[in-house]
Amino acid sequence: MLCSVFNVHRSSYKYWAIRDTTPAPEQVRLEAEVKAIHAMSGGSAGARTISATATNNGFELSRYRAAKLMVKLKLESYQVPQHQYKRGGNEHLEIPIKNDIYMPNAGLIKLS
């Protein structure tokens, strides 16, 4: 009765119901490899880098398939930001003369 509502043949439903739902072993190995490559890069590897590295490791993987696996595994590529130096403060623009002493806490002391 439900099959007729959705316009699906009963035999098609029966084949669908008894199908094997376990993932293929090759797919499991490929997903583990993609996770390992992404983790090894510190999260900075994208689809192109993952596909190139996986191909070098013996897996056939295009960048499009790598991108789909990244979406499936919820992996995002991000670049680690470079170190940012703090902005400088008040620079000492006055150059000490020969007999002057500069003390960090007291400033410039003129001896002459």
Q: What pLDDT sits at residue 110?
A: 63
Q: Where are the beta strands (DSSP E) in 46-106?
A: 100-103
Q: Per-residue pLDDT tens for 74-112?
A: 999 988 788 888 777 777 666 656 666 667 776 666 666
DSSP element (H, E) containing 109:
strand 107-110
Closest CA to 30 of 2, 44, 6, 50: 50
Phi, psi of 78 (to 5 degrees): -140, 145
Q: Give percent of the chain above pLDDT 90.
A: 46
How far is it, in rounded angstroms, from Cα 30 to Cα 21? 17
User: Each residue of 2-53: pLDDT tens digit?
Assistant: 788 888 888 888 888 888 889 899 999 999 999 999 999 999 999 999 999 9
